Amino acid sequence: MVRCSALGLPVKRIIPLDRLGSLPEGLASLSAQGVLQNRQKFGTNIIVEAPGGGWSALVKDTLRDPMLWFLLGTSILFFLTGSRTESLVLAIALIPFLCMDAYLHRRTQASTATLADLLAARATVVRQGQREVVDARELVPGDLVEVSGGQPFPADGLLVSVESAQVDESALTGEAYPVRKVAACSSWVPGKDMALDDSAWGFAGTRMLTGNAYLRVVFTGRETLYGEIVHTALAHPLPVEGSSRERLLTMACLASRRDSGDPLDDALFQASGCDDEPTVLASFPFTEARKRETTVVEQQGKAMALVKGAPETVLSMCTVSTTEMTSWQTQVGQLAAEGHKVLACAWRTTM
């Protein structure tokens, strides 16, 4: 379970009682049998599926599009009924359709590959008292992982031993400054769930800048925060009345940067299919103090200001009635309670 702040990392991440039973205390390591049991119970540590390589995978993805077969079937039907001209027109129209579909699938592959590149490929783990280097996908909850300066965290876990650790968490929060980490308590309280501040956590997708730490893996795969962001960030878009889901995603993309390296921004561009490259007049990045990202772009000869960030921050900048404010706060609270990454987006065009 995750209790989220409106933007960024959780206020506290809760380790369920059933998960605590799989975690050795202190710097103890898992046995071979423990690794096998936890892998059977929790699965592999696949956070982002690596995209299929080569043109063969691209062709397969393109051929799965039902619209392609609908147009092809219609073209054949026209041909069989003697409408040769209409059949030919539809057949020719398939060419740009196929090219565009292939381009979109290729871009999706590239976006997924970019997300996967932020994750660790190998990890140094201590098992049965012996240090070994393994594929990061083989990690399981309970593993003790050594993370040194310059290395990414391969999973979400508790920092049971820390030495001058500073971490780059910009991929999750957008925060440009390093975050100092502290060691969590080394023993668990029996019979109850445990909640710890994010300062005692290491998160997949973030990188150790300086220092060293031992990470007790707690969550792997899609249960990591990085996995949740990539897979569920766009599950519940809530456009304002009179605005479509597509417009909301487009506006959120205009407020984002393609080169930010933020998995949420990448997911927004992928879901919206937005190819526009507007003229950016000004840009103010997200910081922990501002809790929002602001971009001013030129649209049809006018300046448009777009804000994306923490719902309470964005809503406070909008002119809404008390009833509307209460409604939005209720919806945001419900989504946050379910463990979703919640963002708000607003925009205004100059007259």
Show which of 168, 192, 221 is a domain's final residue: 221
Contact 312, 6 (CB under 8 A): yes
* Average pLDDT estimate for 125-146: 91
Q: What pLDDT score does 1 carry?
A: 39
pLDDT band at 237 (very low <50, low <70, confident <90, very high): low
pLDDT band at 196 (very low <50, low <70, confident <90, very high): confident
Looking at the fold, whether 105 and 184 belong to one and the same domain comes out as: no
Q: What pLDDT score does 8 carry?
A: 43
The residue ranking higher by pLDDT, 185 or 343, is: 343
pLDDT digits 0-9 by tens, 86-116 = 888 888 888 887 777 777 766 666 655 555 5
Looking at the fold, whether 210 and 287 belong to one and the same domain comes out as: no
pLDDT band at 350 (very low <50, low <70, confident <90, very high): low
Q: What pLDDT score does 51 carry?
A: 54
Residue 2 in any domain: the answer is no
Domain CATH code at residue 242: 3.40.1110.10
Looking at the fold, whether 104 and 178 belong to one and the same domain comes out as: no
Looking at the fold, whether 250 and 217 belong to one and the same domain comes out as: no
Looking at the fold, whether 31 and 163 belong to one and the same domain comes out as: yes
Separation of alpha carbons 69 and 94, rounded Å: 10
Q: What tokens does 245 get?
A: 């889901």
Percent of the chain surpassing pLDDT 70: 75
pLDDT band at 286 (very low <50, low <70, confident <90, very high): confident
Q: What pLDDT score does 159 carry?
A: 92
- Which structural domain, as residue segments, surrounds residue 85? 54-117
Show which of 117, 146, 164 is a domain's final residue: 117
What's the Cα-to-Cα distance from 182 to each of 5, 150, 215, 246, 287, rounded to whole Å?
20, 18, 11, 42, 22
pLDDT digits 0-9 by tens, 1-19 = 333 333 344 446 777 777 7
